[in-house]
Amino acid sequence: MPGYRGRLIGAMSTFLVVDGAALAARIHVRTRMLGRNAFGMDDFVLCLTYTGFVIACAMGFTSMAYGFAAEEKRPYYSKAKSTQVGCTRKLLVLLSNRSTKTSYKHAQFYYANQLTVYISSGLIKFAVALVLLRIARTKRMRWLLLGSMVVVAIWTIVMTLYSSWLCATKGSSNYAGSTTCSNVGYFRTSTNIIIDYFYAFLPIYMLWDVQMSFKMKASVLLLLGLGAL
């Protein structure tokens, strides 16, 4: 399956396997090696985030099956109507045509894919904050992390509403639809990067004075700072 769609399917499949293996290893360590009491809220949110990723990939795969990112024509989807979505009278009339019904499904599943990604992007940040909260040694650091979680919760809700509703056109986010939506798109992208780097580099500050070997400290910082990638 060459082309953009093939690479997209390959990337999603790869990360499904890699992330699933990493999560399974974490759960095994938490429940089998450290005891069931070691399984905490951060592990639960990580599982919830992975579930969201699985749903997003399933919606993406289904959308592509109905014609999303298609580089060839198939009888069961139509590019011309592939982004029609909504409950307008005109659309309901168009849905009587079989190809348009298929295209409507294409848009529905693509919209579900985007919506799940928006929510999951906030959940994974929440999970990282909970992981760091486990190792926070000072009251000041714990309050910083709790405050950042409040910011992430507000950011996720507001950006999801804008990206999937107020700035959505024909079943997908349309940041070019207006000046406001363009600004929302720039804001979401820039703040997403800032939040990711905040959680990626915060462990350096948290573990700077911890008494452990440089090799061990570097390993821990590398694992906790993977978000920078």
d(CA 80, CA 94): 12
Number of domains into which the chain is organized: 1
Place of tokens 């780097």: 197
The values of phi and psi at residue 169, to 5°, are: -135, 130
Instruction: Tell me how far CA of residue 88 lies from CA of 38, 93, 95, in angstroms.
Output: 52, 9, 11
This prediction has a pTM of 0.75
pLDDT of residue 222: 66
pLDDT at 52: 94
pLDDT score, position 96:
41
Residue type (1 letter), 177? G
Structure tokens at 43: 């592990």
Stretches in the chain below the pLDDT threshold 70: 1-2, 36, 69-105, 169-172, 177, 210-229
The answer to whether residues 156 and 96 touch, using CB atoms and an 8 Å cutoff, is: no
Domain that holds residue 139: 3-228
The pLDDT, as a whole number, for residue 223 is 62
Going by C-alpha positions, the residue among 72, 154, 58, 150 that lies closest to residue 108 is 58
